[in-house]
Amino acid sequence: MLTTEQIQAILPHRYPFLMVDRILEIEAGKKAVGLKNVSANEQFFNGHFPGYPVMPGVLIVEALAQVGAAAVLQLEANKGRLAFFTGIDNCRFKRQVVPGDQLRLEVELTKLRGSMGKGHAIATVDGEIACECDILFALGPVVEK
C-alpha cells in the first residue's frame, strides 16, 4: 500500500490535481489499484454543478491515468520520468460519482513498448462500474524534483 506522500514521490501531481489518495496494490509495469475519496469539499463541485454536485468524467479518467502512471513509473527504468496522456479509447461513463463516494481505480497495463503504452482502466463505486476505458500514454524525460 502507498500513502499520499509515497504517491507524490512517484507522480509529479499535487493538490488540487492529485486525484489518488492511496494505492492499495501495485505491480510495477503490470497493474495498480488505487482509491479516491470524493469529498464534498472538492473544488470542482463549486461549478459542476451547483445544487447537484457530480464529479466531472474527465477527472475520473484523470484519476485512472494517475493510477496507471504509478504502475508504469515504478519500473526502475522509468523512475523520475513523466507519463503523458496521449489518448482515451472506448470510454464509457455508467454511473455518476457524487460527494461521499469512494472510487476504486483499477488499471491493468496491456501494452508497454519503448516509451509508449496502453492500459485498461475501470473505476467503480461500491462494486458498480462508474467508468471504463482504455488509456494511452507516452513516457517523457526524467524530471528533477
Catalytic residue among 13, 30, 48, 95: 48
- Whether the CB-CB separation of 131 and 60 falls below 8 Å is answered with yes
Separation of CA 52 from chain center: 24
Handedness of CA 125, 123, 84, 144 (dihedral sign): positive
Q: Which three cell numbers stand for residue 123?
A: 473505476
- Whether the CB-CB separation of 60 and 103 falls below 8 Å is answered with yes
Q: In 3D, which of 64, 80, 92, 74 has the Cα closest to residue 30?
A: 74
13 is known as an active-site residue? no
Sheet of strand 102-113: strand arrangement: 22-27, 31-37, 102-113, 116-125, 128-142, 81-93
- Residues annotated as catalytic are 48
